[in-house]
Amino acid sequence: MAKVKVTQVKSIIDRPKRQKDTIKALGLRKINHSVEHEATPQILGMIRKVNHLVIVEEL
């Protein structure tokens, strides 16, 4: 399975609770924080929900 690197680039201040929860579920804590995940359908769906707040790179 491929891996993806997700980096938060925008703040979650003034975002809906659902988006804040998704960012936290991805393991992101603050701006410019990066995490690596397996590219499962569940993770890709979470990334799609907050794609305006993050940058995704394939590894």
pLDDT for residue 32: 97
In whole numbers, what is the pLDDT of the chain averaged over residues?
96
If you write DSSP's letter for every residue of 1-29 in order, what string do you get? --EEEEEE-S--TT--HHHHHHHHHTT--
What confidence tier does 47 reach under pLDDT thresholds 50, 70, 90?
very high
**CATH topology for 3-58?**
Ribosomal Protein L30; Chain: A, (3.30.1390)
Distance CA 34, CA 17 (A): 21
pLDDT for residue 25: 97
**Domain boundaries defined on the chain:** 3-58
First to last CA, the chain: 11
pLDDT tens string 15-26: 999 999 999 999
pLDDT for residue 1: 77
